[in-house]
C-alpha cells in the first residue's frame, strides 16, 4: 500500500523551448512506493517533465521537490538517490556486461567489496549471469534493457524514473520487465514510468495523462475509468476509417478512435445508437454496433482526443 508521503512534488512546472511550451504549468504529486504511470501522445511533454524532475533539464518556471531535495539546487545530491533509465540504451556497447556494472559502481562510489556483492546479486536477479562477459552491444533488446535496469538500481535508489523503458522489446520481455518493477515497488522503491502501452498503464497504481504539456487526468486506473463522461460503443465493420469519417461531427459522439479493425466511440448513453446507425447507413457502411466495457484506451482518447500511439 502506498503511503501518503510525497516523493515527487512539482507545482507550476513549465518548460519552454523558444515559442513552444513543452510542459505547461504542471502540478504533480507522486507518493512513496507508488507505481505512477505517465501517459500522453507523442510530444506531450513526458520526457521533458521526467528530465526536469531528475535535474537534467532546467525548468523555465515552477517548483520541484524530489525526495526532499529542491531541484535544480540540490540536483547533485539527488543523483545519488535516484535511478534514471530511458528507451535509448545508454551503457557502453563495447564493454562487457560485468565491466559496465563495475564502471557504474565506481561512478556511484561503491567500495570494491560492496560492488562485487551487489553486481553478483543483480546479474542473478536480472538473468544476466551467463552473459556477464558478453559485450553489451551484442545483447538482445530484452537483455540490454535488463542490464540498463540493473545499472539504474545498482546504488539502491529510493526513486526510479523510467522513460518508455519497454518501447524496444517484445511482449514477453515487457511482462518480465514489469515483474521486476513490481519487485522494486514491493521493496519500497517509488516508480515513475512513462509508457504508450495501455496494458502497462493498467498495472500502475496511479496515472497521469499529459496532453500538449498539461496534466489532463490524474488518478488510479479505477478512478479514471469511473470518471469517464460516457460509455463506449464498439463499431465493427470492414471500413472503420470510413465509419470514423461518417460519424465525424455527430453531436452524440463525445470521442472516437480506431483500435485495430474496430472503432470505439464514446457516447453519453444508448440514445446515441440510432443517430449513429443512421449516419453509417447513409454512408452505406454495414456495421455491428455493441456495448463494450470501458478501458483505459477510452480514458486516453476522451482526455486527449487522440488514439493511443504505441511504438511499432
Ligand atoms: N531540447 C529541445 N529543444 C526544442 N524542443 C524540444 C526539446 N526537447 C523536447 N522538445 C519538444 O518538446 C515537446 C515535448 O517533447 P517530449 O520529448 O517531452 O514529449 P514526449 O511526451 O516524451 O514524447 P514521446 O512520447 O514521443 O517520447 C516536443 O514538441 C519536442 O519536440
SS3 166: coil
- Residues 211-231, mean pLDDT to the nearest whole number: 93
Directed axis angle between helix 112-125 and helix 97-107, to 10°? 130
pLDDT at residue 1 in the model: 44
- Tens-place pLDDT, residues 241-283: 999 999 998 888 988 888 888 899 999 888 999 999 999 999 9
- Tens-place pLDDT, residues 59-89: 999 999 999 999 999 999 998 899 999 988 7
Q: Whose CA is nearest to atom 6 of ligand 1?
A: 17
DSSP per position, 167-198: TTS-HHHHHHHHHHHHHHHHTT-EEEEE-S-H
pLDDT at residue 306 in the model: 62
- Residues 209-217, mean pLDDT to the nearest whole number: 95
- CA pair distance 57, 41, nearest whole angstrom: 21
- Comparing C-alpha atoms, which of 53, 16, 17 is closest to residue 208? 53
Residue 310 scores a pLDDT above 80:
no
Q: In what order do the strands lie in the sheet with 253-259?
A: 253-259, 262-267, 231-237, 287-291
Quick check: 235 and 263 in contact, CB under 8 A? yes
- Tens-place pLDDT, residues 144-200: 999 999 999 999 999 999 999 988 788 888 999 999 999 999 999 999 999 999 889
CA of 257 relative to ligand 1 center, distance in Å: 24
Burial state string for 20-39 with b = 16 or more CB within 10 A and e = fewer than 16? ebbbbebebbbbbbbbbbbb
- Tens-place pLDDT, residues 32-68: 989 999 999 999 999 999 999 999 999 999 999 999 9
Residues for the chain: how many in total?
312
- Going from the N-terminus, what domains does the chain have, and what CATH number goes with each? 6-225 (3.40.50.300), 229-293 (3.30.70.100)
The DSSP 8-state label assigned to residue 132 in this structure reads T
* Residue 201: all three cell numbers together: 498503464
Whether 42 lines ligand 1, by a CB cut-off of 6 Å, is yes
CA of 44 relative to ligand 1 center, distance in Å: 7
The DSSP 8-state label assigned to residue 50 in this structure reads H
Q: Whose CA is nearest to atom 27 of ligand 1?
A: 42
pLDDT at residue 168 in the model: 77
CA of 214 relative to ligand 1 center, distance in Å: 13
Q: Which range, of 34-48, 204-218, 294-308, averages the lowest pLDDT?
A: 294-308
Three-class HEC string of 194-227: ECCCHHHHHHCCEEEEEECCEEEEEECHHHHHHC
Amino acid at each position: 500500500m502506498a503511503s501518503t508521503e510525497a516523493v515527487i512534488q512539482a507545482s507550476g512546472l513549465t518548460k519552454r523551448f523558444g515559442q513552444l511550451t513543452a510542459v505547461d504549468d504542471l502540478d504533480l504529486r507522486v507518493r512513496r512506493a507508488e507505481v505512477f504511470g505517465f501517459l500522453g501522445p507523442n510530444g506531450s511533454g513526458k520526457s521533458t517533465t521526467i528530465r526536469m524532475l531528475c535535474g537534467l533539464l532546467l525548468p523555465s518556471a515552477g517548483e520541484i521537490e524530489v525526495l526532499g531535495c529542491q531541484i535544480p539546487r540540490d540536483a547533485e545530491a539527488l543523483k545519488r538517490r535516484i535511478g534514471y533509465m530511458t528507451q535509448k540504451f545508454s551503457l557502453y556497447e563495447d564493454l562487457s556486461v560485468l565491466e559496465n556494472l563495475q564502471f557504474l559502481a565506481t561512478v556511484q562510489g561503491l567500495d570494491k567489496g560492496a560492488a562485487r556483492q551487489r553486481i553478483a546479486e543483480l546479474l542473478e536477479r536480472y538473468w544476466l549471469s551467463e552473459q556477464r562477459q558478453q559485450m553489451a552491444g551484442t545483447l538482445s533488446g530484452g537483455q540490454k534493457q535488463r542490464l540498463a535496469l540493473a545499472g539504474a538500481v545498482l546504488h539502491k535508489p529510493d526513486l526510479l524514473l523510467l522513460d518508455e523503458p519497454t518501447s524496444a522489446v517484445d511482449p514477453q520481455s515487457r511482462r518480465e520487465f514489469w515483474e521486476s518493477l513490481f519487485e522494486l515497488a514491493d521493496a519500497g522503491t517509488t516508480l515513475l514510468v512513462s509508457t504508450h502501452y495501455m496494458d502497462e498503464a493498467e498495472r500502475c497504481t496511479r496515472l497521469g495523462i499529459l496532453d500538449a504539456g498539461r496534466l489532463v487526468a490524474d488518478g488510479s486506473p479505477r478512478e479514471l475509468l469511473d470518471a469517464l463522461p460516457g460509455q463506449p460503443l464498439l463499431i465493427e465493420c470492414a471500413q472503420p476509417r470510413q465509419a470514423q469519417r461518417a460519424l465525424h461531427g455527430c453531436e452524440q459522439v463525445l470521442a472516437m478512435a480506431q483500435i485495430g479493425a474496430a472503432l470505439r466511440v464514446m457516447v453519453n448513453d444508448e440514445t446515441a445508437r440510432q443517430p449513429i446507425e443512421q449516419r453509417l447507413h447513409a454512408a452505406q457502411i454495414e456495421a455491428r454496433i455493441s456495448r463494450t466495457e470501458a478501458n483505459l484506451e477510452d480514458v486516453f482518447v476522451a482526455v486527449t482526443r487522440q488514439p493511443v500511439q504505441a511504438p511499432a
